[in-house]
Structure formats: C-alpha cells, structure tokens
Chain A
Amino acid sequence: MIPKLRALPVRIHICLGVLLAMALASLLAGVIAPHDPVTIDIKNTLAPMSWDYPFGTDQLGRCLLSRCLYAIRLTFGVALLIALLTIAVGSAIGVTAAYLGGLADQIVRIVSDASLSIPSMIFVILIVGFLGPGTENIILAILLAQWVWYARVARGLALRITSYGYVRAAKLSGTGPVGIIVWHIFPGLVTQMVTQFTLLIGSTALSLAGFSFLGLGVQPPSAELGLMISDGCELIQTHAWMMFWPSLTLIIPVACLNVIGDYFSDYWRSKQ
C-alpha cells in the first residue's frame, strides 16, 4: 500500500528533505532565529542583507529571516489545521449522507451545490465580512468554503463502497450503521483522502497567505507570510527582497507538497 522510502524517486526524496528541513527550522525558530520577530528597531529599518541580518530587515527594522522562520510555523501550522478539519468534516458529512441516503443525502447535496455555486474566494470574504478579520474567523471561513469538495469526493467513494458485497454482507449479519461506516467505509477512503490532504495543505497555505495579504486573515504584528508579502508589496520598487524572501518561503514548501501529492495520487491510481 505505502511504497518503501528507498523505492521513491529522487524528486520525492528532495521534496521530503526540503520539507523536513523547513519544518525543523520553523519548529526550532525560538532557538535558531537570530532576532525577535516582532521587536521594532527604528534605527535599523530596511537594512540590506548582511551577516547579522541574512535576509535584511523590513520597514520597521525587524529581522526578515527570523520573521520568515516564525511565519512558516504560523502559516503552515494553521493551514495544516484547516486541512485536517476540512478533510475530517468533509468525509464525515459525505460518508454519512451517502450511507443514510434519502433526505439527509438530498440536504447535503443541495447545501453543497449551493455553496459550490458561489466562488470560494467570494464566499470566504463574505463570511469574514460577517465575522470580522482574525485568525479564528479565517480558519472557520476557509473550512466552510472547502469542506464541500471533500464531502463530494467522500460521498462518491462511499456510495461505491456501499454497493460492495462486503457491506451488504455486514448488513445481513446485523452490523449497525456506525459499525459499517467505521469498519468498512472509512478504510476505503484513506488512500484518496491522504492524497487530497497533501495537496490541500499547500493550497490552503496559499489561500491563507492570500487572505492575510488582503488583510482578512492573520492580523499584524504576527509574522505571517501573506502579511509579510503585503508589507513588501508597498516597497517592491526600492526594496524587492522584502517581498522576495517571504514569497520564496511560501512557494518552496507548497511546490514540494504538490509534487509529493501528485506522486502519491498517481501511485495509488496505478495500484488500483
């Protein structure tokens, strides 16, 4: 089911290595970051790259390297949380709807069709508009905009699995709905959902940074990649590195996650 680490192609090794290194660096940010990410140093604004400030400083004199390290933690940590919640909520609702059928299924279908008809960007802005910007609200908003896709995937898979002989046999021998869902349907979703999850972390990190960029997500002075890019955007003509470094920090892990997600989805498709 899961390929051996040694059998993986080189590109996956590289991606995994990069991700691992960045994860470690961000988790150990408190130890390895040269400066405090939020301390303002007015005497040292917009400093160029130097040994003391490897990525330079921003318009408030904060060390960009330190801010990037902390920002990975925040952006990808929150993205991970949203992705987990999305997958969990989506598959739970999708599987339940598929298994129960009838009215429950109809309701889920109508709700998901309705929310799919609104572009998810607009949908998130709408929700944040109601709740006000902030980290918790953006988590909720992205979750509400995304679960539908995974509910549909899970529903489709669950419908297929429900028609399998072993689910019918389990019903015949008196296993209840909960037993059937937990024993037979969820295991069938795992491979698909793991792939989706890998790809979802990357895209969620991107949209989270995007909404922070727009001022709808994480609020300053937290170090968050979208916020940092937004700050850098204003000074792009004179101090391009202020935007360059956080952008790079965002792109690299997302690209790695996409490569890995693609590989696994191909791998499992070829296995079936």
Chain B
Amino acid sequence: MTLRPSYPYPIGETGSPEAAALTGQPLALTGATMVVPTLEEAEEAIGPELRPGQGNVLSVKALSVDLLERSDRLTVVREASLEIGPREIVGLIGESGGGKSVFWRSLFGLLRGANWRVAGEAFLMGKPLNFTDEEASRKSRGREVGIVPQDPMGSFDPVRTIWNHFLETAQAHVDIPAQEIRAMAEDSLAKLYVDNPGRILDSYPFQCSGGTLQRAMVAISAMLGPALLIADEPTTSVDVTVRLEVLSLLKSLRERIGTSLLLISHDLKAVMSVADELNVMYGGYIVERIKTGDLVAGKAQHPYAKKLIKARPRFSRERLESIPGAPPSLRERQGERCPFLPRCDQSRPSCSDYAMEAFRVGQGHFVRCLLAKGEA
C-alpha cells in the first residue's frame, strides 16, 4: 500500500524522479524498488520557477501570533513568512523566547489554552492550514506533517513496546490492518539504518539505547509519509556524541525518506551543518532569511545574525564575542519597531522610525534591517 500526500499536481509515472519530486512521493513506503532521486534531480524536475512560489511543501505568509492576557494583546510572532521547498532543509534559529516554538506550534494547533490569536496564511502542500480547527490540525499531525519530539527517552510510554507506538500513530490516521502497519513500521525503521527492525519493534523503550529510540521516534514521524518533518530542538537534550548522530540522521532523511525538514534550534552550528536555508528569528521577527552557503561566505547582513555567527565557539585563545544586554521580554518588544535596537552597535537615528519591513538583498535572501535598505 502506498500512502501519498494529497498534492495539487498531476501525478506522473510512479517511481520516476519527476513524479517523485512533483508529488513529494518518495514516501512510497512499502514499494521496495522505489527510486529516490537526489536533490539535484528533484530540483531539475521541479524547475526553478516553481521553487519560490506555490510548489512549496510549506509556505507561511505573514503569520502573526498574539497572546491575549487580560486586557493586553501581546504579539509573540509578527509577520513571519517562511517557505520550504520539496526536500529542502530549512533551519529556524534564535534565542529562547524569540518565538520559534510558538511559530510552528501555531501552525498545527498546538498552542495550549484559548488565549492565542493566529492571523495570516499558511499552506501545507498547497492546502490552506486552519489554525483554529483542532480536529483538522490533529489529523494533519502525524500524517501530513511529522513532528519529531524533543526527548527520545521520555517520548515513549515505558509500559508499551515500540511497536505499540507505531501502531498508535498509524491507527490515529489510517484504517488498515495491523500486518500492513507492521510492514510500514519495519520499512520506516530500516530506512533509518536500524538493523533488525522486527526486534526493535518488539522491545520496550528501556531496552533500547538513546540513539535507537531517536531513530524510532523519527521513524514514527516519517512512517505515514509526511511531506514535512518538524524537529524542535532535536539536539538539546542529547549529549555531544549523540548530537552528531542525530544531525546526520536528520540529514539523511531527505535522501532516505524524501521529506522536507524544518529544523528549529538555538544551536547555530548544528543547524548550519544540516540546513540549506536559515531563518534567524529575534524578538518575534524573522530578521534574516539566508542560504546557508551565503551565511558561511559571510554575507549575513542583519547585525544580530552577524553577531550570532561570531558567537560560535571556536578553537582559539580569543575571548568569545557576546552580544551585550539581554533579549527583550515579551512586553518590551511590542509595537512595530526593531527589537534588536537596544543591543545593536550599528544603529542609526533613523532606526527608531523603522517599521520592520523586509528588504530583499539577493536570491532568497531577505533582511529586516535598515542597513540592508540601500543594497536591495
């Protein structure tokens, strides 16, 4: 059985790179001879003109998330736009409290409590996302979008086998016999380089290592063939050696499973090693959107992004450069002005009137800073 996400494009011959790329269909889970195209092939098949437009797996346009607190209306995320193409790995980085988690959680109905107001548009594979319809959000989670939980050890119920967790997720979405789910589960695990998936499925979480559980977690998220995986701080709760493993695992997802990936982290170094594109978030704004290559080449323009790069730990005797001050609290960063202004060492007088519009400074490179205005 082949699970295929609903995609607003004609489906070509199954198995060809074009078809796979167009339908986001490398998700054929039980087809053993599925040819998974490389990124280049996929890009070629899609054509460059489709990339920035509507061919995206996820496209978010001017998403704002407000928190109602008694009589106040606090904006947590303001006019965030994001695009993730097929098989693209996009990183979202920024400090804690910057709005990263609120941003993605708002898309899939995961904000807790009724005090949130989400405005803007978002499309998952061309289909508009409804932020308020809880049932629709629930149905898309796990099926159209896979969300990889943060903590591999805690994310498994200790009294149930790994297999039960696969079964649970599958049964929440599709009505197919257990044997087929079993095959899908084994297949999904095997794709993530798990030897002997059958044995892993029958063991309990405490019988598995952290790395195996991490793989199992990703395998569950990817089992039903989502077009997009979201990993929120996947490297935070693991030690350094496992972190490396997790990152290479996430990187291999694109080839092995064929999904796009939204990687959310405060760890710039980790994200840079994996992502194609980076979105730097500060104070509720996505202040810079830049290709990883450009970032490495030193083309970042937003002062915060530049500082962030300088603040990566290096092997040197020099003192690590840090940004003075602290990130603004939610109340401090209300109103349409630059949240980084108080900490910025390149600020000009005109900055205080700047209403945070974004400037395009290059191919797929946007900056929300007055400094970038002249270079558009």
Chain A interfacial positions (CB closer than 8 Å to B): 102, 164-166, 168-176, 179, 183-184, 187-188
Contact = CB atoms under 8 A, between A and B. Distances in A.
B138 A174 contact: yes
Contacts of B143: 174
A172 B138 CA distance: 8
Contacts of B147: 172-173
Contacts of A168: 149, 155
Interface residues of B, number: 31
Contacts of B155: 165-166, 168-169
27 contacts: A102-B114, A164-B154, A165-B149, A165-B151, A165-B155, A165-B156, A168-B149, A169-B156, A170-B168, A172-B142, A172-B149, A172-B221, A173-B141, A173-B142, A173-B146, A173-B147, A173-B220, A173-B221, A174-B138, A174-B139, A174-B140, A174-B142, A176-B172, A179-B171, A179-B172, A187-B159, A188-B159
B110 A166 contact: no
Interface string B130-156: 000000001111110011011101111
B38 interface: no
7 cross-chain pairs, A with B, having the tightest CB-CB distances, nearest first: A165-B154, A174-B142, A169-B155, A173-B142, A174-B141, A172-B147, A169-B149
B109 to A, nearest CB: 10
Contacts of A170: 157, 168-169
B157 to A, nearest CB: 4
Contacts of A102: 113-114
Contact of A175 (B150, B151, B153, B172): B172
B173 interface: yes
Interface string B154-184: 1111111000100011011100000000000
B160 A169 contact: no
A183 to B, nearest CB: 6
Contacts of B192: none
A83 B64 CA distance: 52
A170 B159 CA distance: 14
Q: Tell me whether chain B's interface is mostly helix, strand or loop, or mixed.
A: loop
B173 A166 contact: no
B217 interface: yes
B172 A171 contact: no
Nearest to A102: B114
Nearest to B170: A173
B222 to A, nearest CB: 11
A179 B221 CA distance: 17
Contact of A172 (B110, B139, B156, B164): B110
Contact of A174 (B149, B164, B169): B169
Q: Which of A175, A176, A184 has the most CB of B within 10 A?
A: A175
A174 B230 CA distance: 14
Contacts of A187: 157, 159-160
Given A102-B113, A102-B114, A174-B138, 4 more contacts: A166-B158, A169-B154, A170-B168, A183-B160
A173 B168 CA distance: 9
A168 B237 CA distance: 16
B262 to A, nearest CB: 13
A191 to B, nearest CB: 11
A165 B113 CA distance: 19
A184 to B, nearest CB: 5
A176 B156 contact: no
Contacts of A176: 138, 172
Contacts of A179: 168, 171-172
Nearest to B147: A172
Contacts of A166: 154-158
Contacts of B150: 165
A102 B113 CA distance: 8
A129 B172 CA distance: 48
Nearest to A166: B157
A160 to B, nearest CB: 13
Contacts of B160: 183, 187
Q: Which of B139, B140, B147, B157 has the most CB of A within 10 A?
A: B157
A188 B113 CA distance: 25
Contacts of B114: 102
B149 to A, nearest CB: 4
